[in-house]
Amino acid sequence: MKNPFIYYSTVITTAMGLLHSCGQQAPQFGSAPIDDVIGAMTLEEKATFLVGSERLKETPPDSPPSVTRYPMFSKELQAKLDSCKSQEEAFNLVQATSLVKGRVQGAAGQNFAIPRLGIPSFIYADGPAGLRIDPLRDDEEGEFYCTAFPIESALSASWDTDLVQRVTAAMGQEVREYGVDVLLAPAINIHRNPLCGRNFEYFSEDPLLTGRMASAYINGIQSNNVGVSLKHFAVNNQETHRNGVDAQVSMRAMREIYLRGFEIAVKESQPWTIMSSYNKINGTFASENHWLLTELLRDEWGYQGFVMTDWWAQENGARQMAAGNDLIMPGTQRQFDNIIEAVRKGELDEKVLDTNIRRMMNILSKTSTATNYKYSNQPDLKAHAQVARQAATECMVLLENRQQTLPLSEKVKRIAAFGNASYDILVGGSGSGNVNRKYKVSLEEGLQNAGIALDEALAKSYGDYVKGELAKLPQENFWTIPVIAELPLDKAQVQRAVANTDLAVVTICRMAGEGGDRKNQPGDFQLSEVETSNINLICSAAHAAGKRVVVLLNMGNIIDLTPVLACKPDAVLHVWMGGQETGNSIADVLTGKASPSGKLPMTWAKHYEDYSSANDFPFSDEAGETVQYKEGVMVGYRHFDTRAIKPLYPFGYGLSYTTFLYSDIKAHSEAGSITLTVEVRNNGQRAGREAVQFYVSAPASDGIEKPVKELKAFAKTPLLQPGESATVKVTISASDLASWDESTNGWNLAKGTYRMMAAASADDIRCATEIEL
């Protein structure tokens, strides 16, 4: 017998079709003008189109098939359905719909098909690090694996928009070839606090880096004729109580920090769809926020696409419609009823529904589904694995490299690899950001592929331990990818492994995912006792034996690094979660086949308490209902700079295997835009690329406290050979230098002298010039 959920859904949509099937054929979506299709829709069909296909899932599975709950059926149809002898029979009555099981299993959602009007079911699937669908189907032959690419925080560490666009062009091909219409990504909320559980899915603490990365990401995906859903709009900077927390934030902080990335992405790349966030903003749910979704997004920014809710954001359906939230996903019956009732009572103008439907249809008519694209179910996974491998190398950030420990000298033939993650590397986070990949390359495999042997006895202990512990873990599910506790080491074991090898590698990992934030506790933001003891043992044994230690950080975010640095490891490389080829990518960087050129997209503080939001995360009140963004615009480096707090590693920091000399900065202002150029020369011994950052200090402005400086442009050089130079050129629009003035509720461009700086990081200004505006 078919799944009753599907049974009910299909009954409803087709039932409405049947209702109208007598007489002449209704205008068909795809061939008739959109306004004619809308004109032919009943109120119920409109609400059906605007509320996703899962709204009937509340029905207990074992309840008898009954449609009386739904006031949309005619008596005749009700009678027909009631007279069906079995679900099977009723199912046959409605088989025209494409909702049977979902065409792409594991996709996050779809809408009801309305066959009477030729409206098919469109498919929406996650997520930022690759397409998330089920890899195997119980009723269909074949495999449907997708490529796990580097996570977003890693991608932004590349500071390379071309690279991001190459990655997402490949990702988008998978979206298209698996028959999905819209990818629910990129996610671009600001890293307000390092404990946010989804920072790995977000780009950065800085809105300009975020916005530019998002545009490149969107352009790559949409170059495949599939859409994105830019999410989560807006001010969704924590997971704790994400469905109800009220983010209380000033208009200035919103405009300059939390909305800026969205604004750039909307204006530069017109995402097909945007996902509103769960939380409240200054008392109003984002999905019910008319100012946010209509006045700002459409009227001010000129957004052309449509807005959908985040999943199960169960606010009032009628209010969501009125605010300009076009599609409710995956939909509840209550929200559907809200819409119908509000229209019937005259509280919601049906024209609002027409506008929302029109916006959706304008976009959806471009999709693969609407244009009957014959997808292959065979994207080029082999080629995409190579894209992922190369991209991950460009994202890694070299934090420490004493005495040129890296790249490894050719003398390093055998390594003692410590840390569970050396044998079970984490390649992505959990939740909707997870990707069902076919395989992952562990560090062990990656090193072996590069011709480096591992200490066998150590590899065997870890191998046995990891295998045994993994078998004991609960099954991975949407919300959690369980991670095993770190294997405790003893001194003799460490000394033996160190003596038998040329160098030690220690991998420290952290998992994270939506639905929860991280904690400033041992084993999470802090090292666990076992990790602290292990790293102490390893560093002392290795240094006593005259050998070096390389620490790899395998995570989407950051941890408290103080106890690690206290052991004086010789090199520290942030390898992020680099996707399914992570092990090979790490080996490429360790051996020098690739030169690390990533730089931090966030500030790495010495102490958690140094972050400006530390006292207001996740809540500002005892009841746990509100979070006050008291720090205003002083987020990340803006705060560290302005309050003169020295971070451990500044925003934009990252070493290379070579060094770069900056010179000859020039600024030229014309017709509202400023062109900056700087010469960058590779003055070191190896080839490399440099991420060049341009910060601007604005003149003082009455009543507006400005950050000491702000990132206003960036660019990455091509690969420069030793001695080679490049002229790096960027353009800044003068309007990008304005601050939001709360007193006039508008942008204010202060007159005076602006200092323009070319920098290797927020704390490493290499040359500067001034300009009068």
- Show which residues are catalytic: 310
Instruction: Give the number of C-alpha atoms closer than 13 A to the C-alpha of residue 544, restricted to the C-beta side.
Output: 12
Residue with tokens 């991670």: 483
Tokens of 558: 């950051």
Neighbours of 515 (CB within 10 A): 15
Max alpha carbon distance in the chain (Å)?
90
Using CA atoms, how far apart are residues 221 and 227, in angstroms rounded to an integer?
7
Cβ partners under 8 Å of residue 374, min gap 6: none
At residue 499, φ and ψ (nearest 5 deg) are -65, -30
Nearest-Å Rg of the Cα atoms of the chain is 27
Three-state SS sequence of 84-137: CCCHHHHHHHCCCCCCCCCCCCCCCEEECCEHHHCECCCEEECCCCCCCCCCCE
Strands (E), 101-226: 109-110, 123-125, 182-183
- Compute the CA torsion angle 147, 152, 155, 156 (nearest 10 deg): 170
C-beta of residue 399 within 8 angstroms of C-beta of residue 654:
yes
* Phi and psi at residue 56, to the nearest 5°: -95, 5
Q: Are 179 and 224 contacting, i.e. CB atoms less than 8 angstroms apart?
A: no
Our measurement of the distance from residue 5's CA atom to the centroid of its chain's CA atoms, rounded to an integer in Å, reads 31
Looking at residue 619, the DSSP 8-state letter turns out to be -
The binding site for ligand BGC (CB under 6 A) comprises 108, 126-127, 184, 231, 310-311, 432, 514
Distance CA 765, CA 310 (A): 41
Q: How many residues does the chain have?
A: 773
φ/ψ (deg, to 5) at 177: -75, -15
* Pick from 505, 604, 584, 585: nearest CA to 551: 505
Q: 3-state SS of 358-405?
A: HHHHHHHCCCCCCCCCCCCCCCCHHHHHHHHHHHHHHHCEEEEEHHHC
Measure the N-to-C terminal CA separation of the chain; round to a whole number of Å. 73
Per-residue H/E/C for 643-699? CCCCCCECCCCCECCCCEEEEEEEEEEECCEEEEEEEEEECCCCCECCEEEEEEECC
Query: What is the separation of C-alpha 4 from the centre of its chain, rounded to a whole number of angstroms?
Result: 34
CB 628 within 8 A of CB 248: yes
Question: What are 46's two structure tokens?
Answer: 């409109």
- Cβ density class 368-377: b for 16+ within 10 Å, e for less: bbbeeeeeee
Q: How many C-beta atoms lie closer than 10 Å to residue 344's C-beta?
A: 12
**Closest Cα partner for 630 from 286, 207, 253?**
253
Tokens 């512990």 label which residue? 469
Residue type, 275: M
In the complex, least distance from residue 331 CB atom to ligand BGC, rounded to whole angstroms: 12
Crossing angle of helices 381-395/582-591, nearest 10°?
50
Tokens standing for 516?
A: 């929860």
Instruction: Give the separation between CA 639 and CA 255, rounded to whole angstroms.
Output: 17
Q: How far is it, in rounded angstroms, from Cα 648 to Cα 644?
A: 13
The number of C-alpha atoms within 13 Å of 85 and in the hemisphere containing its C-beta is 0
Complex with ligand BGC: residue 278 or 695, whichever CB lies closer: 278
Looking at residue 287, what DSSP letter applies? Answer: G
For 441, the token pair is 């390359």
What does the alpha-carbon distance between residue 272 and residue 222 come to, in Å, rounded to a whole number?
Answer: 8
Q: Which of 104, 97, 61, 124 is nearest to 311 (CA)?
A: 124
Compute the least distance from the CB of residue 101 to ligand BGC, in Å: 18
